[in-house]
Structure 1
């Protein structure tokens, strides 16, 4: 028998969706004059195509190639959905008019159930208050202190891989996604939380790491159901809402409820330990992992000194931990895995990167400035983030009637020329990160090709002059800022606050790995699945994995030295 709150939620879902569907079908909209692909399902519209793990890539590639920066899609039950990758329209949605184009309520509720009332689950003034407290924590000064921690964890990874490769006659196949996941969790654990999740010595990670790693595949099962979130009851605690979600007879929602509960419990345990250490004084803090230089220790100290108006309540601080664990682990581990994959496909690029890293690190581990000076490493990371953004789309919803300008006019279905688009209140918008990063009108005819070298020379004027919203910018070519931006980490007030943290993690791990090992693809077929964060599997297996051949790098000089 269904829980009474769940029964009421189901009824609200049915009534709400039917009413919205009726209005969409009988009321004309200016969006109807926009070009767009047909919908092959009234129940799901184009949404299932847009978020399908296996087939979503083909659909977003079709949108990128076939439409001029904007397309009209259909959502569930006939609802209108606007897909945009026109740079000026994106700038208005993500930056200039972000107060009008807010994160949808279903996304906010979904994040709150997963992580609690942290920055990913807040809006308006509450979001600005949390962001104000968190921004200084991710300053360059603090990031410099993170690099030694990243190097220490990276050396543990190198030792673990060396133990498996040493003594073998050739490369050894191993699941690099699993190793990147464990490493990323330990990196965010030590540098982000001052806590060790995984010593990187056992053959398998602990249950917590495995639960976190299962999130992308789990989310891919519930992407089309996230719009039900606004209809879950508002009453009760977050734990109650997670429990109700777990009672819905759908395997993905039940698994997500279980994982979210594990994430919350571990975050509370870590928070209580750190709070006790802070109360005991500096000596106790210095005995902790990270010696008080981790992100959460910095945040908790700043929060204690903040005014009553700015201070975050405990549940919001704990929620930042849950958010950081998930965001810091999955985006980094999957981006690292994708980069290793690309370097295996392009052995010349792998060798060029190795040469740069070995030359720079001949006197020991690289610090913050040393990492920032590696131009080809930076180009490899940027090009990977451009052509394979971990998140393909972000969603927004209009809180009032608005007008979106276009960088170039387009033709309407009725043959008229459209230079701006009236967008009614309540319209759902998908911002096409993938499409923007591969837009040939901006990046040229080779936009879909992985070419790190494009970042080492002057980029097209179409990029430098475009109003692409993003925080990932100001790359320097021959001492001059290019002005080129990527929307990969979003922009404006809801941009990824930890993007610099993530980039430093990637650079440290890549430097240590590429200087010690060679990477080749295995014979197993790898499929990258579209999800909230893309992830690889072997063929159609539901389990995420990336088997690769890993061998010890032996330079010609080291061979000669042995004689």
Structure 2
């Protein structure tokens, strides 16, 4: 191989170990006879040093060259030039203020498959082609796995729950959890949901009983989502809806996504830190590093872990005391955690979750159910405030249903067509999560449903992708696709769900689990609690709208890109959305 002689001159001169010894003996005749002549010979040490440095370097260079050769086909995929030689497009992908515009811009300009750049020029494939996404999340889902840094981050933040495991480990956890999120089990949640939402309504009515008032809505949506998942999911009350003081856990989780999101640019280095830096050293460094965002994440994770431990401990104690103690708890033993603990005891040994995994599930459930639901609810209420005619129409539908029955049961709520249309349309146009990442675990060929035009003018219908290539699944790219939804795809129009959808929607075969959209993903890593989330949103709206009216104020609300989209005001990083709230019986100013 060219250049090898410059790397290993001694090896080429002395190809066998015995001859290496002879060469050294000739060069060192004055060495003591009582010890091996090569023991302290500097040439021997240098030879070992050469090998220790050159062999790993050669293997690393060969691996990188091999990946570059395999990734050559991606150079034909169109895409924008990177803004940074070192970070590529990562600063734009994860830009809190302007990232939303970047994602929408590349979709409009380059279409359903776009080539982007990551660290040091690593290629990233940005995909919104439905057939390609079907391969990524369904057909070849164990080739296109979650990225190593995603798993490492979730393990540190939540523990070994659903979002922190891969492969068979993930399948076993999901197998145990799936029955808990069934429709039959969701029916038991309605009374709990209605009690919590009535408390929310009473709090807001109290605030505006003397006239219209500007109210920070995100606070109340976060508190409500947390209390809903607390009582229905864990049989535990955070007591954050009855009072006005901020719950420590609610405040922590509300700020987790906005705090973590800018750090995602650097998350690629996390697996190496976890693998090579001892845990005590990592913990000390994270708490004392001169980087406020990192220290904030550590504090948030500490609060989440402490809360999860407390909840699981109390629940286990009640189960040990017997059925009477369980029935006196919130949820009366029908909450998700109680059912999970009972199922875990009855599960076979290989399917049973460890204590650490149970805590991981709790932290994951608390974060995912609270943050996504509060984001979706805030967006729905914002859209209703922006479109008073739609708010009035939805209010009329709910009031009419309440006139027929004082209490709306599960079937009645799900059979309110306009309520369903408002929720579906909001989740389509403004999904809480706008994109997710995957990485290829081996070489694979990605077929496209619609061929694209390469930079050389040729038509491309399938793309060879090398191992360790990053892939971004664009949720908004599918949800707002003009080819799928028509020319008004980006418009918020709940009425589109009240008639037959275009044939193009059916023909697209979108592989998502919800309403021909990718909002809750699909395949083996689809959102396991999407029915729970839908029910929460509908009960909240059905409880508030008959009594309260929401209107925009002069304050400009800006929706910022994060792991989960959130509203904010000005340059503030904190989620906030002030709206004017008034009683329906009054005219707002």
**1:197: Cα distance to partner?**
0.6
Question: Does structure 2 retain, via aligned residues, the 8 Å contact 1:24–1:79?
Answer: no
Match of 2:204 in 1: 161
Q: TM-score by structure 1 length?
A: 0.91
Among candidates 517, 531, 534, match of residue 500 of structure 1: 531
Instruction: Give the Cα separation in 2 of the matches to 1:42 and 1:392.
Output: 25
Instruction: Give the Cα separation in 2 of the matches to 1:364 and 1:288.
Output: 27
SS at 1:518 equivalent: strand
Residue 165 of structure 2 corresponds to residue 134 of structure 1: no
Instruction: Give the Cα separation in 2 of the matches to 1:458 and 1:216.
Output: 37
Among candidates 177, 190, 199, match of residue 218 of structure 2: 177
Among candidates 107, 110, 113, match of residue 64 of structure 1: 107
Runs of 4+ displaced beyond 6 Å? 15-27, 235-240
Alpha-carbon displacement from aligned partner over 1:342-386 (angstroms, at most 9, x marks no partner): 001111110110011111122222111011101111110010000
Question: Does structure 1 retain, via aligned residues, the 8 Å contact 2:222–2:371?
Answer: yes
Q: TM-score by structure 2 length?
A: 0.87
Report the CA distance shift for 1:467/1:341 in structure 2 as closer, same or farther (over 3 A): same
Residue 307 of structure 2 corresponds to residue 266 of structure 1: yes
Structure 2 gap segments, 5+ residues each: 1-57
Question: Does structure 1 retain, via aligned residues, the 8 Å contact 2:70–2:466?
Answer: no
Report the CA distance shift for 1:238/1:133 in structure 2 as closer, same or farther (over 3 A): farther
Report the CA distance shift for 1:17/1:160 in structure 2 as closer, same or farther (over 3 A): farther
Residue 291 of structure 2 corresponds to residue 250 of structure 1: yes
Instruction: Give the Cα separation in 1 of the matches to 2:579 and 2:72.
Output: 51
Residue 408 of structure 2 corresponds to residue 366 of structure 1: yes
Match of 2:88 in 1: 45
SS at 1:407 equivalent: strand
Structure 1 gap segments, 5+ residues each: 1-14, 474-484, 557-563
Question: Does structure 1 retain, via aligned residues, the 8 Å contact 2:133–2:473?
Answer: yes
Match of 1:7 in 2: none
SS at 2:508 equivalent: coil
Alpha-carbon displacement from aligned partner over 1:426-456 (angstroms, at most 9, x marks no partner): 1000000011111111111101100001111
Report the CA distance shift for 1:252/1:509 in structure 2 as closer, same or farther (over 3 A): same
Alignment RMSD: 2.1
SS at 1:450 equivalent: coil
Instruction: Give the Cα separation in 1 of the matches to 2:113 and 2:194.
Output: 43
Match of 2:390 in 1: 349
Among candidates 446, 458, 464, match of residue 506 of structure 2: 464
Question: Does structure 2 retain, via aligned residues, the 8 Å contact 1:187–1:505?
Answer: yes
Among candidates 537, 553, 557, match of residue 522 of structure 1: 553
Instruction: Give the Cα separation in 1 of the matches to 2:59 and 2:187.
Output: 50
**1:204: Cα distance to partner?**
2.2
Instruction: Give the Cα separation in 2 of the matches to 1:246 and 1:77.
Output: 29
Residue 409 of structure 2 corresponds to residue 378 of structure 1: no
Instruction: Give the Cα separation in 2 of the matches to 1:271 and 1:395.
Output: 31
Question: Does structure 2 retain, via aligned residues, the 8 Å contact 1:106–1:226?
Answer: yes
**1:240: Cα distance to partner?**
7.2
Report the CA distance shift for 1:552/1:16 in structure 2 as closer, same or farther (over 3 A): farther
Match of 1:395 in 2: 437
Matches within 5 A, 1:42-441: 42-168=85-211, 171-234=212-275, 244-362=285-403, 363-441=405-483
Instruction: Give the Cα separation in 2 of the matches to 1:555 and 1:167.
Output: 10
Larger radius of gyration: 2
SS at 2:189 equivalent: helix
Instruction: Give the Cα separation in 2 of the matches to 1:208 and 1:245.
Output: 20
SS at 2:115 equivalent: strand
Report the CA distance shift for 1:28/1:235 in structure 2 as closer, same or farther (over 3 A): closer
Instruction: Give the Cα separation in 1 of the matches to 2:91 and 2:62.
Output: 21
Report the CA distance shift for 1:59/1:416 in structure 2 as closer, same or farther (over 3 A): same
Between stretches 249-258 and 491-500, larger displacement belongs to 249-258
